[in-house]
Structure 1
Amino acid sequence: MREMLQFYIDGQWVDPVIPSTLDVINPATEEVCGRISMGSEADVDKAVQAAVAASAGFAASSRQERLDLLQSILDVFAKRHDEVAEAIMEEMGAPWKLAKFAQAASGPQHIGAALKVLRDFPFEEIHGTTAVVKEAIGPCALITPWNWPINQIAVKVAPALAAGCTMVLKPSEIAPFDAILFAEILHEAGVPAGVFNLINGDGPTVGASMSSHPDIAMVSFTGSTRAGVAVAQNAAPGVKRVSQELGGKSANIILDDADFERAVNGGVSACFENTGQSCNAPTRMLVPRSRLDDVNRIAAARAAGVVVGDPREKGVHMGPVVSAVQWQKIQDLIQAGIDEGATLLSGGTGRPDHLERGYYVKPTIFTDVSNDMTVAREEIFGPVLCIIPYDDEAEAIRIANDTPYGLSGYVSSSNLDWARKVAAQLRTGMVHINGASLDAFAPFGGFKHSGNGREWGAHGFDEFLEVKSVFGFEAKKAS
C-alpha cells in the first residue's frame, strides 16, 4: 500500500493546503493499492510561484549546465528503472515486460534524445546583421495522461529543462505513482529548487487552475480531445501557447501487394499493444475487399493467441484496462458495434472467461465494418480493431481521411514507391510504412482534432521557446 500524500514544490515535499485524498485502484485486482492527496487552486498557486521565482535564474543557465543536469537525471533513473516499471504495472496494469522494456524505458529514451539534441541546438542564428534568438518561454504547465505515463512526462519535462524552462506537472490521478518517483529522481539528480514542481489532482480543479493561471506562459497537454478543448479554453484569456497531443483513430492501409501474413499479424498486435490504450494505435484496418476472407482468417488466429491476464504473470500479452469507467466505456462501444451490424470476428462484451476480477477486456475484432459505424468513428481506447474493406486505392485513402482525427497512419506494400504515394495523401502527423518503428528524434503529433504542436526531438524544443529578432546585432560591413 503506497501512501504518497505530499506534493513536490520548490525543491521540498510539502503537505497540501487543504487535506483531501484519493484511493488509487490496481486495475488487475480492483483493490486499493495506494493513496494520494488531491490538490487545490491554492496548491497550484504555490507551485506556480515557485516556478516563477526560479525562472530567470534557470533560463540564464548555460547549455553545459543543462547537459550535465540531463545526464545526472539519466544516471539516477537507471538506478530506479525497475522501481518505476513496478509502479506502472501496479497503477495502470501494464504487463511486466511492457512496463519494464517499453513503458519505463521510454523515460530515459526521451531524456537521452533531449540531451543529444541540446548539444547542438541553435539557440542563436545570425542572418545578415540580425540575430534570431530562441529563449525559454517561461513557467510551463504540464498535464499528462495515464496510458503511457512516464513517456508523456519525459517528453515534456526533458525538452522544458533543455530549453531553460521551469514547470509545474500534473500527472494523471489515476496512475500517479510513477510521476512521484520521477520527482524523487529529479530531486536526487540535482534539479534546482522551483524548476520542477508536482501537484496531484484532477483536471477540473488542478488542471483548470494551471492552464488558466496568469503566471503560466505555456501549457503542454496530452489527453482526450474533449479535455484538450477545455484546456485551450481555460488558457485563451491569458493568450498562452497551448501544445496538445490528443486522440486518434488511425487507419492501417494494407495494399493489395503487401505480405498479408506479416501486415495483418503486425496490425492486430499493434492495435492490442498496451491493451489498446495508445492514441496512435492502428484501430482501423483497411483491406482490399477481395482479400477480406484471408484477412479475417489471419486476424482471428492472431487474436486467439493473445494471452490476457495478471500483468505479473509471465507470458501475458495484455493486462487490464486502467479503470472501471474505461472498462464500461469499452463494453458500451463493443455493444454498439454489435447493435449496428458489424460482424464480430473475435472477442465481444464481458471479461475473458477465465478472469473473474479486474478490468479485463476480450481482444475484440469487428470485420466488414463501414466507416460510418460508431466503432469506426469513436476512439475506443481499448483492444478493439475494426476491419474495413475497400475497392480501390482512392477509396482506401478517402476512408482513411474520413475521420475528425489525424494523429497517425500506417501503410503496407511490397512496393515502397506505392506506399510513399499513399502516405503522402494521408492527413496525419505521422505515417508508418511497412511497420516502421517510431523515431525519438522525429516530431510526434497530429492534424485536425488530434492536436497541435509537436513533441520529440528538436521540434519538441520549439514548443518551450520564444523567438526574438535582434536587428542590428551585427555591424554592417563596409560596402
Structure 2
Amino acid sequence: MTATVTREYRKFYIGGQWVDPVEPRILEVVNPATERVAGTVALGSAADVDRAVAAARDAFPSWSTTTVKERLEVLRNILEAHQARTGDLAAALIEEMGAPSALANGFQVDLVAGHLTTAIDVLENFAFEEQRGGSLVVKEPIGVCGLITPWNWPMALIAVKVFPALATGCTMVLKPSENAPFTGQIIAEILDAAGVPAGVFNLVQGDGPGVGVPLSAHPDVAMVSFTGSVRAGIEVARNAASTVKRVTQELGGKGPNIVLDDADFADNIGKGVASMMLNSGQTCSAPSRMLVPSARMAEAANIAREAAAQVTVGDPSGEFSIGPVVSGGQFAKIQALIQQGIDEGATLVAGGTGRPDGLPTGYYVKPTVFADVTNDMTIAREEIFGPVLTILGYDSIDHAIDIANDTEYGLAGFVAGADLEQARAVARRIRAGSVAINDGFDFGSPFGGYKKSGNGREWGEFGFHDYLEVKAVLGYAPDTAAS
C-alpha cells in the first residue's frame, strides 16, 4: 500500500503541551475510500496514560473550584474556535472515515456546535446546590474522567463527553478511536486555542489494549465514559471494577422502527430507508429493524426497493448519499451478514454482497434491504453497522411491540404514523432509552440505552449528571429543619 502521507500526528496533548510519546510507535490510518494511507498517528502506552492522568489530577483542584461564569467563558471561547476550524474538521473526517462531503460539512460538524451550545445553555441555569429541608444537596465534579470514543460519529461523540465534563468542573483524558484519530487531534488543537487551562483536557491517541485498558483501570481516574461495542464495553467495565469507579456506557443497538398502517405508510417507508442508510448505516441508534403490517409486506418491499435505488454510493468528495464503511474489517463483517441473511431465507429486495458497480476500490457496500425477515434471523438480532435494512411483519400493534422489544438491545426506537395519539401510545411501550416519533430530534433530550445498550445518559442536562457526585450537608439550616 503506497501513498503520499498527508497527515502526521506524532504528539499527544498533555498538561497544555504537545509532547512526544514515551515509546514511539506509529499507526498508519487508511482512507476507506481509496484503501491508501491518509496519514499517521502516534500510538500511546500505559506510560503516556500515567502522564496524562497526572496532569489531569494536578489540574483538578483549580478547575473544579472555578465559577460557572469562568467555565462559561471557556466554553464560549471553544465555540468560537470550533467555528474557525469546521472546514478542517470536515476534511479530516472525509479522509479518516469516508463520510460524504455534504454530511461531513453539514450534520457531522453541526452536531458539535449543537452539543456545545446546549452545554452552554444548560450550564447557565444548572443547579449545583439545592436546599432540601435542613440539608444542602451539593453536586460536585467527580474528578478525573477517562473518555473513550468511537469512529462512527467521532466529533459528536467527543462533544457529548468533553463539553459536559468541562462544564461540570471535571478534568479529563480523551482517547479517540484509532480508526478516526484525525478529528480528535484537531479538537485538541481547538481546545488549546480556546485557552482551556493546562491539564484540564488531555489527549492520548492509541488502541484499546495500549491506552483504553490502562485508562479505564487507572486508580486516579474517577469515572470512565465509553461509547462503542458491547464487547469492548464489557471489557471496560471489567477493567474499571477493581477501582470501583463510575462507568457509563453507550453501546450497540438494533432499533425497531414501527411503521403504522395509515395514510402516511408509503412516505414513512421511504423515510425509514433513507434514515437507515445515513452515514453508511454506521449509527448505533439507526432504525435497522423496520416493522410493517404483514398484509402490506410486499407493498413495503417495493417502496423500499425504490427508496434504496435513490441512495447513491461513491467518492466522499462527490455528490453521493453515502461513502464507504470505515475499514476492511467492517466491510468483511457486513458482507458476511448480508450473505447470512440470504442463506437464512430472507428476501433480498435491494443490494446484496459485493461492491457497487464501478467501485472496485474502497470499502463500499451496496445499500441493502431484506424483506420477509423474522426476528430469529441473524440479521434481525445482530448489529450489522452498515447500510442494511431488515423489514419484519407484524399482525397487530401488540405483536409489533413484542417484536420491537424482543432484542438484547434498547438504545433507540422509532414510531412513524399519521395518528399522533396512537404513535405516542406505541412509543411508551418500546423498551429503549429514546424513542423518536416521526423523526423527532432534540439536543436537550437524554440519550442512552436499556439492557445491553448501556447505562447512563448523555445530551443536554442529563449529560451533566454522570460527571457529578452528590453530597448531602445535613444540619446546614437547622432552624429551617426545626420549623
TM-score, structure 2 length as denominator?
0.98
Q: State the partner residue of 2:3.
A: none
Contact 1:10 1:51 in 2 (8 A): yes
The one of 220, 234, 239 equivalent to 1:234 is: 239
Aligned residue runs from structure 1 range 210-359, under 5 A: 210-314=215-319, 316-359=320-363
CA distance in 2, matches of 1:390, 1:261: 16
Note if 1:102 corresponds to 2:112: no
Aligned residue runs from structure 1 range 121-270, under 5 A: 121-270=126-275
Match of 2:284, as an amino acid? Answer: C
Contact 2:366 2:387 in 1 (8 A): yes
CA distance in 2, matches of 1:164, 1:435: 34
Q: State the partner residue of 2:379.
A: 375
CA distance in 2, matches of 1:302, 1:27: 25
CA deviations on 1:259-296 (whole Å, 9 max, x unpaired) are 11210011000100000000000000000011112111
Note if 1:418 corresponds to 2:448: no
CA deviations on 1:70-108 (whole Å, 9 max, x unpaired) are 000000111111110111111001000100111122111
SS in structure 2 opposite 1:313? coil
SS in structure 2 opposite 1:141? strand
The one of 74, 80, 84 equivalent to 1:75 is: 80
CA distance in 1, matches of 2:439, 2:176: 31
CA distance in 2, matches of 1:269, 1:355: 21
Aligned residue runs from structure 1 range 4-15, under 5 A: 4-15=9-20
Q: State the partner residue of 1:47.
A: 52
SS in structure 1 opposite 2:151? coil
The one of 468, 475, 481 equivalent to 1:472 is: 475
After TM superposition, give the deviation of residue 258 of structure 1 in Å: 4.8
CA distance in 1, matches of 2:454, 2:464: 17
The one of 447, 450, 453 equivalent to 2:450 is: 447
- In the superposition, relative to structure 1, how do residues 187 and 140 fare at CA in structure 2: closer, same or farther (>3 Å)? same
CA deviations on 1:134-155 (whole Å, 9 max, x unpaired) are 0000000000000000000000
Aligned residue runs from structure 1 range 18-37, under 5 A: 18-37=23-42
CA distance in 2, matches of 1:55, 1:218: 14
CA distance in 2, matches of 1:244, 1:16: 28
CA deviations on 1:52-75 (whole Å, 9 max, x unpaired) are 000111000010000000000000
Contact 1:258 1:412 in 2 (8 A): no
The one of 114, 123, 129 equivalent to 1:118 is: 123
SS in structure 2 opposite 1:158? helix
The one of 441, 449, 460 equivalent to 2:463 is: 460
Moved over 3 A (4+): none
Aligned residue runs from structure 1 range 419-434, under 5 A: 419-434=423-438
SS in structure 2 opposite 1:368? strand
SS in structure 2 opposite 1:16? coil
Uncovered stretches (5+) of structure 1, i.e. residues with no partner: none
After TM superposition, give the deviation of residue 475 of structure 1 in Å: 3.7
CA distance in 1, matches of 2:265, 2:324: 29
CA distance in 1, matches of 2:201, 2:466: 17
CA deviations on 1:421-453 (whole Å, 9 max, x unpaired) are 1111110001111222x2111101110000000
SS in structure 1 opposite 2:41? strand
CA distance in 2, matches of 1:398, 1:407: 16
CA distance in 2, matches of 1:42, 1:399: 48
SS in structure 1 opposite 2:44? coil
CA distance in 2, matches of 1:107, 1:285: 29
CA deviations on 1:176-231 (whole Å, 9 max, x unpaired) are 00000000000010000000000001012200000000000000000001100000
Contact 2:323 2:364 in 1 (8 A): yes
Number of matched residues? 477
Match of 1:294, as an amino acid? Answer: E
CA distance in 2, matches of 1:394, 1:128: 45
Contact 2:411 2:450 in 1 (8 A): yes
CA distance in 2, matches of 1:191, 1:63: 14
Note if 1:387 corresponds to 2:386: no
CA distance in 2, matches of 1:426, 1:258: 23
CA distance in 2, matches of 1:189, 1:432: 35
CA distance in 2, matches of 1:414, 1:185: 44
Uncovered stretches (5+) of structure 2, i.e. residues with no partner: 1-5
Match of 1:292, as an amino acid? Answer: M
CA distance in 1, matches of 2:293, 2:410: 22
CA distance in 2, matches of 1:445, 1:334: 28
CA distance in 2, matches of 1:456, 1:19: 36
CA distance in 1, matches of 2:71, 2:245: 25
Match of 1:23, as an amino acid? Answer: E
Contact 1:25 1:32 in 2 (8 A): yes
The one of 409, 422, 429 equivalent to 2:413 is: 409
CA deviations on 1:348-396 (whole Å, 9 max, x unpaired) are 0010011010000000000000000000000000000000011111111
Contact 2:265 2:417 in 1 (8 A): no
Root mean square deviation, CA, Å: 0.8
TM-score, structure 1 length as denominator?
0.99
Percent identity over the alignment is 58
